[in-house]
Chain A
């Protein structure tokens, strides 16, 4: 039973596939011209790209010689290079997807980045815990014809991903998993048949919920892997501020550390957590017990 709404939403087919699998491939989302413009902008700004970093993965199926490189802060590049990325922020074709997943009113989180990988780049261990741990910051919910999601990634491949190339890997249906993610799945060690490494064409869009178990396989494609990452959230939500800064009034500094913790703006990484003594505060990068 589909929710009846007076605003544009995904097609019934798309709702079915996304609800079933926890991810969705939208073929030909970008035009050839849009793909070219994005690639030209990245090509023209290779000086802004980070270098390949040292490898971190130790699991056999995820190891590589180096980690991928990133183009960051691309919305803020000088014109005309920022334009192809700015044009995607509220792309007209994006609206039905965001409306369906978040309801009306959604925002860009994190910021926008592009990734680049070549043969030798390592993967990334799988993460995304489905429903095993009730987490208000990463979820997929459905009720009475309506779906609602928290942090969701909209990935735009800018080069083809052929079968066997590696790159994004997802576990279909895992957004609804009730049992904890086994270590051997997390580290891509066994039960490989449950993983799906979607082949895509440049210009496709791949949407995956952060609650869907996902990761990256080492890149094995002959061509460079290039992908854009946009992360959207509902309008009342914030993981990492994308394009704003916050300041607090002076009187906040008169408060205790614990009281100041409670007055912090919304964000996830490094958010102060009050200890049971109600005085001391810790700031883990990410509290896995969200």
Chain B
């Protein structure tokens, strides 16, 4: 029974598919002009693109000559006119029903905006996203009384076609609701590969996937370049990685103990200080898997 809301939401078909699978392909989200504008901006700024790094994956099905992709970063701050196509996506009119449905009204951009480029030889990325196996307030898909609510969710815009067998994004349909831990052999794409789905897409399609949905990347094998844009959205009260704002604290915070200062930190995930059981020592793991 879908929630009755007085604001724009996804269609019933889209709600059904996203709730069922943990991801959604929205065909033809961007117009041809929008895709061209974005690709032109990337082409004009190849000097801002990172290089292919060394490979990190050791699993047979994920190995490659180089890292997963090379990145264009800081797109929102590029000089005009090149930043404009990316800024135009921030609150794109067609995006609103999806974010409203997934987060409720009031949502924000997290992380920052990147574009990724891959060619034949790029490796994959091991699968991650743990469904319901571990109750995690920062990555989840919840449904109740007609309402969906999610935490960190990726909105990936395809800027080039992904044909059958090309590789790239993989997802495990339904895994956002998995109750058992992700097995290692699936994480490393070793066998039971039939549960892993590599969606095909056309340039201009948008693929939404929940961070709780098990997902990863398989090595790129397409003849053309793989190009995708990543926008990550969260509810308005949430922050994984502050994307643009800077924070400052009043001077009196420096008078506190390290543990007390840890508790007054702004919200974020990576390297957030954790107080040890002695109540004094503070550690800063990059990400604490016991979220």
Contact = CB atoms under 8 A, between A and B. Distances in A.
B238 interface: yes
Given A236-B138, A266-B108, A7 B179 contact: no
B193 to A, nearest CB: 27
Contacts of B252: 75-76, 82
Contacts of A143: 132, 135
A95 interface: yes
A238 B277 contact: no
Contacts of B245: 246-248, 263-265
Given A236-B239, A273-B105, A133 B268 contact: no
A141 interface: yes
A142 to B, nearest CB: 7
Most buried by B among A131, A133, A142, A262: A262
Given A86-B256, A95-B277, A267-B236, A105 B272 contact: yes
B185 interface: no
Interface in B1-28: 5, 7-8
B105 A287 contact: yes
A24 B135 CA distance: 21
Contacts of A290: 104, 106
Contacts of B219: none
Given A247-B246, A255-B90, A276-B96, A89 B260 contact: yes
A236 B246 contact: no
Given A238-B266, A238-B267, A136 B240 contact: no
A244 B92 CA distance: 30
Interface in B89-106: 90-93, 96, 103-106
B276 to A, nearest CB: 8
A132 B144 CA distance: 8
Interface string B222-258: 0000000000011111111011111111101101110
Contact of B279 (A95, A132, A252): A95
Contacts of B277: 7-8, 95
B149 A134 contact: yes
B182 interface: no
Contact of B290 (A5, A239, A263): A5
Interface in A88-132: 89-92, 95, 102-108, 131-132
A278 B145 contact: no
A264 B242 CA distance: 10
Contacts of A146: 134-135
